[in-house]
Structures are given as structure tokens and as C-alpha cells.
Structure 1
Amino acid sequence: MAYVHEQDAAADVVIAGAGLAGLAVALGLHRKGVRSVVLESSPERRTSGFAFFTWTNAFRALDALGVGDKMRGRHLQLQGLRVMSSSTGEIAREMDLQVKGKLGPHEVRCVQRNVLLQALEEELPAGTIRYSSKIVSIDDEGGDAKKLLHLADGSTLKAKVLIGCDGINSVVAKWLGLAKPSESGRTATRGHAKYPDGHGFEPKFLQFVGEGFRAGMVPCSDTDVYWFFTWSPSTANGTDGVDQSPSAMKQFVLSKLRSAKVTPQVLEAVERSEMSDVLAAPLRFRAPLSLLLASISKGNVCVAGDALHPTTPDLAQGACTALEDGVVLARCLGDAIVGEEGGAREEKERIKAALRKYAGIRRWRSAQVIAASYVVGFVQESDHPVVSFVRDKMLSGVLAKTLLMMPDYDCGKL
């Protein structure tokens, strides 16, 4: 149980959530000389999720935070993408993932989530993260504009700045009045296969589209392979009647893949895999138009990561844009706090202006990623004959170009 000591009952910067966005913000602020407190609801570092695609834009952010090379040393660089039709088994598109974009060569690796979270945490001062500390409500604290945070264990904490990185069901986003995330009508599951003697796969991302699902397999290292499967359920609860157990979910995925034309390597990876602790999760997103009109920041409060821009995973940009958020927010806020003269009133105004600046930078970027991801996912997964024909014969190049366009972005330095 978390307990807030009397001398710790106030903090300059409080970050809700120790996921990628929260730790990126905390580390960015630390590099700028600003101490923060990260409140994490779980009792220990999160381990769910297995892995995620880390594209060029994410590595630029990780380099700014000083941990990019740590990730490069642990994960394979992917050389190419092969998109195949689930209906015919034919190759719809081959793409070089090391081509040069407008801002330089592309780089993509499948990074294990727990490895990156550990790397970020190791760079933070001891005691930065307080586990088993969940914010349940937020109040204004009188004339000094501090926020009074009520935690699940009954303790309270005053914050000069509150940053919500508390995920898709964010308490902070709700306090800001952001629109509730919408259902996409699709569900996802994922897994992690280990090959102790080496898998021997090429360092390529293999993806299958059509037949009502989207699936992919990618090597993270010489011994680890990550796979995902998204589909449109036919039942209201989103499970298609699948018993919520690892073995049942695995058999459900295998049955779908076997009824389509996928390669044996993908079936083998699923068969030998561990299933995620979240067996099946509905894919949700925040409507892009609502973000263009929303209050991403209000006074001394703002949001980042999934609390800001929950998106479908079809461009593999959710985690990448969360890391971008971390760098941009740390730069804006750090510059406002460090090295400026003036009293408390002047600092308060600088903080408000810094969060407004951050919101202005991230608003359009977030809306763009959400909209593009949703459209790409709809086209890739559809089993409608007309959509399938157009996708396989005419749109594969457009979809590939979109996949490389989103990572061709630089969030800048700290």
C-alpha cells in the first residue's frame, strides 16, 4: 500500500502512470534537471504487452532521452516488410524498411516492452516511481492552483503540475473533459514465441491482410518472436464465444489462420507461444476531430500517451507517438521551470504557457496518426470483395507509403 509521508505531501511535478509515456516524460524532465514523482497503480513494473514496433520517430525520441543505443543492442533491425493476402497467399507488397526518408534513413525494430521500461526506469533517480499509487480523483487546491490528488489508499498529494499518462481509461483525461474513446468494432490478441536454439527467420516483418483479420509476425531478437492477430468479432462481447483462457484463445487464432492461406512459420509461432495476460482486448480510439477541439491542457494539467491519443495499432505508432510526447513535453515544461527568474506567479504562468505549447504541437500530430491508423486498419482487415480487390491490386503501394510516412518525423531534442 502506498503511503505519502508528511514531508512528501507536495510535489512540483506529478506524473500519473509508469508506462512508456510516463517514464519518458520523467526521464526527459530528469535530463532537464527537474525532479518528478511518478504514481503507478500496479504493485510493480508493468510486464504486459510483450513487444511493440519501434520506428524511426521513436528511436529519435529514445536517442534524445539517452537510451536509444541500449535498445539497438538488444533488438534486431528489421530489413523489410512482406504483406501477403490471406485470401490467396500471394505477396501483395514487398518493402525495404531501411530506405531513406525525408529526414534520413528509416530504422525499425520490434522492442520488448519490459526491456525498454526497465531501461527508462534505471536512468531515473531512486524513488521516482511510487508503485501501488492510483489516483482516484482530482481537486483544485485553493488559490495556489495546485491540484489535490486523492489516492486509492486514502492518502493525498499536492501537485504543482499534473501530467496524465494513465492510459486509455485516464482519470486525468476525464478531468480535462476529453471525449471518451470510441469502439472500433475490432479486437486484438498477441503472443510471444521463444526459440532457445534460434528461430532462423529473416529480420523481416511478415503481415497477412484480408479474410476479416489482420495478422503479423516479427522477430525481436535471435530467440524471440512477437505475433499479433486482430479481427472483427461477430458477438457483442467481442470474444466470438471464446473461453477466456490462454489455450482457448490460441486455438481460436490457429483456427482462423488455418482457414486462410498463411505460411507454416506463423502457425508454428502461435502454437509454441505464451499468451498475453490480456487475452483479448477491444481496439479503441479517440475521435480525431474531438482532439482538434479538445482541451489537451488546462492550467497546470495535461495528458500524454494513450491518455491523449488512444489509437488502433494498424500503423504501429501508439508507443512511438507516446515517446514523442515524452520528449516534447519534457522540453516545453523543463524550459519553463529551469533557469527562469521571477516569483511563484511568474512560474505558474510559464507552466501554463508551456503546457499550451505542448498541446499545440501534439494536437495535429495525434489526430493525424489516429485517423490514418483507423483507415489503414479498415482497408487491410476487410473481407468485402470490392475492398479486397482494390486493396490487393491497387492500394498496396498507398498503404505502404502511409506506413513509412508516419515514422518520418522528428520530435526534436530536449
Structure 2
Amino acid sequence: MVSRVVVAGGGIGGLATAVALHQRGIPVVVLERAPEFREIGAGLSLWPNAMRALDSLGLAAQVRAAGAVETGGGVRDRAGRWLSRTDNAAIERRHGWPLVVVHRAELLRILVSALPASSLRPDSEVHAVAQDGSGVSVTHRGGSEHADLVVAADGLNSILRRQWWPRAAGPRYVGCTGWRAVTKPLPRLEVEGAVLWGRGERAGFTVLPGSRYYVFGAVTAPRGAAFDFPRHFAGWPDPLPALLAAVPDGAVIARDVHDLPPLPTYVCGRVVLLGDAAHAMNPILGQGACQALEDAVTLAACLDGPDVDTALERYDRVRRPRTQSIVRRSARLDAVAQWTWPPAVLARDLGARLTPARATLRAMEPVLGWTVG
């Protein structure tokens, strides 16, 4: 039986893990390198599998109230014509939860509020972990901690993954720069949210609470390329140019997109990887945070058993094949989205237009149909 856990990383996955453990009466400490627990990102899509994970934590209703339900959407081409439509009502009927779009800061606030202040240790960047027969010792900026288990939820460039998986390949650049932003409050647009696919570039938008919009996209480019995104997408179909014009100055967050090659295991002794530290993926499916939430509740459920090592083996057996499959699926879709050769783009768009909506829903079933257990 685990008696104390240290979580390295105070993002969505780390905090959700701490909430799940705290609710089971397991003492937990979250070490976050930033001076406070906050999220500087933009919007976030929470698909039914993520809402189911949040429901197991008793937080789904709060998150739904803090977000906006996506009632329609789909993919358009560069001219604004529909290529495919997403039947969000059918998704909710089938999976019990809608697609909810929430600001990352709101989700983080809800997770933080579900934990006692004594569990939260900001300004405590983890430096190293040592394992011995009596447990795990964690050295961090503020001192040290001892526990039965360390959860490495410290992101794409995880320090603990480098320490305990030294032969593992590092993050790989997928060939595009991703960007996202939130607009100022605007009058409600009479248009459904959508993703627009061009030649080696894409952009999308959806509504957020407070009359704001979440805008996002990606541009195929060499590593480190810089873009003026409002100017770059100025000639795209309405309402994208108007939405980008409504983004406050300096508020576009742009980063080169990376994913992680598959690891042979997510467990090394009493150190376990979770979220992006384990399986960073291309954001095109909107599943990065969703999979971190699944990881969190699955790990906590596995730890209900009496033997920690057996619990970690089960977590690895359950989570690694699923998350690595979604990493591959995201990579395949992104490769198609990055096509630039006009005949290939034309064939891609025609194929999307001819694919029945019910086939799209069936294709999403393995991802969205996840259940806690």
C-alpha cells in the first residue's frame, strides 16, 4: 500500500493525479517549478473521454460550467467549403458527455481548488530522484522529499525521464509550428467552429465563455521559424481574419511542435511517467490533455491495490499501448494535414468530403470510448 506520493509537475496531469490520490486518502505533494500554480496557455478541447475522467474526480460539472459546449463543427477547405461535419450531438448521445472547450487556466484553477494548500509546493523545481530500499528521495529547489513513489508529470522535456530513461530518444520535431490564442470579448458570431485546412497550414476557432474565441492552428516550417500569424492568415475565409485581429497584442502563443518516440516502459522502479513526459503527441486530435487526465485516474485506480510494484506494472500495461497508439494516430493525421503538393491536397480534401459522417464517428470510437477502470 502506497503511503506517500510526490508528483513532479503542476500541470493538468500532475494536478489531476494529486486530486485522485488525495481523494483516496493518500498523502501527496505536488512540486512545481513555477512560482505559482497557473497556466499561460489558451483554450483546450475536452472530449468525452476526458470528461469521463474528470467525472470520476467529481469535477466534470464544474469544468462544464466553466467551459463552452461545442455544438457543431468540422473541417473546411482553404476556400471555406465544408469537407466534413462533426455531429457533436451524436457524440454526446453515444458517449454521455459533450465536447467541452475550456480555458486552460480555468481547468487548472478547478484542479488546484480540489487540493489542500499543504499539498501544493510552488517554486520547487525537481533536480533529481534517488531510489533505495526505503523508497524514493526527491531533491528540489526548496529542499527534499521522501515518498514511496514519484510521478514524473514534468512535461515534454522531463528532467526525470532524462535521468531514469537515459537511453531513450528525446523529443522529435514534427515539422510544424503550432500557435494558439484567445480573443478579446466579441459579439457572438453566427458561425460554427471549424478547422480550415490549407496547403501545409491549418487554422481553427471555437467559442469560449465570456464572448471570447479560441483560435489555433499550425504552419509547416523549419524549426524555429517566426510568423506574424494575423498577417499570415489575413486572406483566409471569414471569420478567421477578424478573430485574429481581436487577439490582444503579444497574446499569440507559438511553439514548434514535438512528439515523443515510443518508450519500452513508463515505469522505472518507483518512478512513473505520466502525460507529456510519457507520450507527448501532436495536438491535431486534441488529445494531449485528455490522455493526461486518463493517465491520472488510471494510475490512482491501480494504486488501490496492496502492492505498489504490481500497480505500476498494471498502469504501464494499460496506458502505454493506448497512448502510444494515439501518438501514432495523431502523427498520421498531421502528416496528411501538412501536405503541400496541390494534387495531394486536392485528393485529401476530396477524400474527406466523400467520407460519410457515420464513418468518422466510428473512427473516433476507440479514442472517445475509454472508460475508467
TM-score by length of 1: 0.83
Shift of 1:205: 2.5
After TM superposition, list the pairs within 5 Å mapping 1:155-174 onto structure 2: 155-174=143-162
Q: Which ranges in structure 1 are unaligned for 5 or more consecutive residues?
A: 1-10, 243-248, 341-349
Runs of 4+ in structure 1 deviating by more than 4 angstroms, as ranges, are: 100-103, 275-278, 398-403
2:114 to 114, 123, 129: 123
* Paired AA for residue 27 in structure 2: R
Instruction: Give, in whole Å, the separation in 2 of the partners of 1:215 and 1:382.
Output: 14
**Residue 237 of structure 2: aligned partner:** 262
Which residue number in structure 1 is paired with residue 285 of structure 2? Answer: 315
How far did residue 278 of structure 1 move?
7.4
Measured in 1, the distance between the counterparts of 2:105 and 2:40 equals 8
> Contact 1:97/1:106 (CA < 8 Å) preserved in 2?
no
Q: 2:181 pairs with 191, 211, 233, which one?
A: 191
Does residue 364 in structure 1 map to residue 321 in structure 2? Answer: yes
Change (3 A) 1:286 1:275: farther
Q: 1:222-280: per-residue Cα shift (whole Å, max 9, x none)? A: 512111121111x4x422xx3xxxxxx5xx21222134x421x2111111113676732
Counterpart residue number, 1:354: 311
1:109 equivalent among 82, 100, 124: 100
* Structure 1 segment 279-318 matched on structure 2, within 5 A: 279-287=253-261, 290-291=262-263, 294-318=264-288
3-state SS of paired residue (1:14): strand
Q: CA separation in 2, counterparts of 1:203 and 1:355? A: 46
Structure 2: gaps of 5 or more residues = none
Structure whose CA Rg is larger: 1
User: 1:346 aligns to what?
Assistant: none
Letter in 2 for 1:78: E
Counterpart amino acid of residue 327 in structure 2: I
Corresponding residue for residue 381 of structure 1: 338
Report whether the alignment pairs 1:253 with 2:229: yes
**Aligned-residue RMSD, C-alpha:** 2.2
1:78·1:203 contact (CA, 8 Å) conserved in 2? Answer: no
Identity %: 28
**1:273 aligned counterpart, secondary structure:** coil
1:147 to 126, 136, 139: 136
State the shift of 1:401 in Å.
4.3
Matched residue, 1:404: 364
Aligned length in residues: 366
Output the amino acid matched with 1:147: V
Q: Which structure 2 residues correspond to residues 329-348 of structure 1 after superposition, within 5 A?
A: 329-333=299-303, 335-336=304-305, 340=306
Cα deviation per residue 1:328-368 (whole Å; 9 max; x = unaligned)?
A: 011111x13xxx5xxxxxxxxx1111011011110111111
State the match for 1:134 in structure 2. Answer: 125
- In structure 2, the CA distance between the partners of 1:182 and 1:132, relative to structure 1 (3 Å rule), is same
| Among 25, 30, 51, the residue aligned to 2:22 | 30
Task: Give 1:128's aligned amino acid.
Answer: S
**How far apart in 2 are the matches of 1:276 and 1:174?**
33
* Equivalent residues of 2:48, 2:95 under 8 A apart: no
1:84-107 Cα offsets, whole Å, 9 max, x none, are 111x33221222112147953451
Q: Is the 8 A contact 2:92 2:98 kept in 1?
A: no
71-80 vs 358-367, which moves further:
71-80
Structure 2 residue identity aligned to 1:181 = P
What is residue 4 of structure 1 aligned with on the other side?
none
1:274 matches 2:248: yes
- SS at 2:368's partner residue? coil
Instruction: Rate the CA distance shift 1:73–1:15 in 2: closer, same or farther, 3 A.
Output: same
- Mark the CA change 1:27 to 1:37 in structure 2 (over 3 Å): closer, same or farther: same
